[in-house]
Structure 1
Amino acid sequence: MRTDDLIAQLAAAGARPPLPSPAKTITYWVGGLGLYFLVLIFWHGARPDLAEKLQQTLFWGELTIMLAITTSALWVAGWLALPDGVDSRWKRLLPLLPLILLAGTLLYATTAPDALSLSECLRNHHFDCLARVLLYAILPALWMTVAIRRGAPTKPRWAGAMIGLAATSGGYILLRITEASDDPTQLIVWHFFPVILLTLLGGAFGRSLFAAVWKKKNHKIP
């Protein structure tokens, strides 16, 4: 498109209201997701041994790591909504650090003598846990997708991955608070795997999710 035509098109469209600052957007997301998952906790009810679990350092550590994953993914996604958002690679990779830490912790825990083997875990058929993590993530993921589409993300795949990671990490936390299941193998297969799955799917479909934004602006995604 010629520059004169682009200027004419922008003038005809008129000024668009400015996007909220990333800090404000991230604050909305944290508050909204926190309220959403609190409502679900009250709806499902807490696990019967929650008071006992909250006295265990490992349980607190696991929830703290997942909170770090959720908040850091929200932070990255909020900045990626702007074309001049997170430029440095290490900032975009920040959520992967606690994610790797949790994966390593769970894998190490599977070496315990009382941990289920993979075949035993699969025979339990806890597909409901996997489905619940994914279902809990649908509304937050849609909400964040709509918010980011109002911007101009130049890293659409990474933005999609961060949306998936933030939404499913919240679902993981919710399931740990409401579901009395602590075997590390089951946590990897039925709780942690959905987090990785939706993160990868978000990254895979991120370009198509946000390509329309640049198409409307008559530009190609950088």
Structure 2
Amino acid sequence: MKTDDLIALLANEVVPVDRHVVAKRFAISLLCGLAGALLLIVTAYGIRADLAVIATTPLFWAKLALPATLLAGALLLTTRMARPGTQVGRTWVLLAAPAVIVWIAALAILITAPADARMPLLLGSTWRECLANIALLSIPAFIAALWALRGLAPTRPRLAGAAAGLLAGSIAALAYSLHCPEMAVPFWALWYLLGMLLPGVLGALLGPRLLRW
């Protein structure tokens, strides 16, 4: 068989790839993950009773801003991991910046607070269940993010899995903010960030097995 004939045979009836396939898959993934987390919040945990009142305070929106900004950075990182040869670039800055800002604020609050108030600011009254709750709420988004990646072409499965886990953890923390009564910045700086990190670690461990071609 001549080379030209072989090329023509291989190219015969090739279906064009949808240019928006990554955006479509992750749009579905985000909707499913967020819907799953909100459904769990409403049915298993409940929305905090004073949400309408607390939502009028800037501190509440600052609390939501932490997982929301991390969600944006994790989404960008995950979508880049879904494409072969795509550079991560400065995406890590988008993930690191919110964490650094909230830790600076938390340290400033802890330093200026009375000594006997520092541990309550850091631990609150729900630190024991915070990690487990965020991890549980991340399960729907974690499954959805892995589904989105498995239909694409990640070439660095460990990093892609970690990014998917961070994305799921951010969605979970955002939903959990509607239930969590803690309003102290040091609490979010420690427990929210650890809660979001757990699915990321799990994704890094499972990525090479679940995302390999």
Unaligned runs of 5+ in 1: 1-6, 214-222
Check conservation: 1:49, 1:180, Cα contact below 8 A. Answer: no
| TM-score under structure 2 length normalisation | 0.76
Output the aligned Cα RMSD. 3.3
| TM-score under structure 1 length normalisation | 0.73
Partner Cα separation in structure 1 for residue 147 and residue 101 of structure 2: 30
Check conservation: 1:47, 1:179, Cα contact below 8 A. Answer: yes
Partner Cα separation in structure 1 for residue 38 and residue 122 of structure 2: 32
Deviates more, 1:36-45 or 1:150-159: 36-45
Check conservation: 2:134, 2:172, Cα contact below 8 A. Answer: yes
**Deviation readout 1:125-159 (Å, 9 max, x if unpaired):** 74322111101111211221122122221232321
Residues 24/108 of structure 1: CA separation in 2 closer, same or farther (3 Å cut): farther
Match of 2:28 in 1: 28
One-letter amino acid of the counterpart of residue 60, structure 1: W
**Deviation readout 1:147-195 (Å, 9 max, x if unpaired):** 2122221232321121111111122122221121223444344332121
Equivalent pairs: percent with the same residue?
26
Match of 2:134 in 1: 133
Unaligned runs of 5+ in 2: 1-5
Residue 107 of structure 1 deviates from its aligned partner by 3.6
**Deviation readout 1:91-118 (Å, 9 max, x if unpaired):** 3543332233233333433333374428
Partner Cα separation in structure 2 for residue 39 and residue 90 of structure 1: 34
One-letter amino acid of the counterpart of residue 77, structure 2: V
Residues 172/146 of structure 1: CA separation in 2 closer, same or farther (3 Å cut): same
Partner Cα separation in structure 1 for residue 126 and residue 69 of structure 2: 29
Partner Cα separation in structure 2 for residue 92 and residue 120 of structure 1: 26
Secondary structure of the residue aligned to 2:72 is: helix
Deviates more, 1:63-72 or 1:32-41: 32-41
Partner Cα separation in structure 1 for residue 15 and residue 145 of structure 2: 20
Residue 90 of structure 1 deviates from its aligned partner by 0.9
One-letter amino acid of the counterpart of residue 74, structure 2: A
Q: Is the aligned partner of 1:121 residue 2:123? A: yes
Partner Cα separation in structure 2 for residue 17 and residue 109 of structure 1: 56
One-letter amino acid of the counterpart of residue 58, structure 2: T
Residues 198/30 of structure 1: CA separation in 2 closer, same or farther (3 Å cut): closer
Residues 143/120 of structure 1: CA separation in 2 closer, same or farther (3 Å cut): closer
> Where does 1:33-182 land on structure 2 (aligned, <5 Å)?
33-43=33-43, 44-85=45-86, 87-111=87-111, 112-113=113-114, 115-117=117-119, 121=123, 126-182=127-183
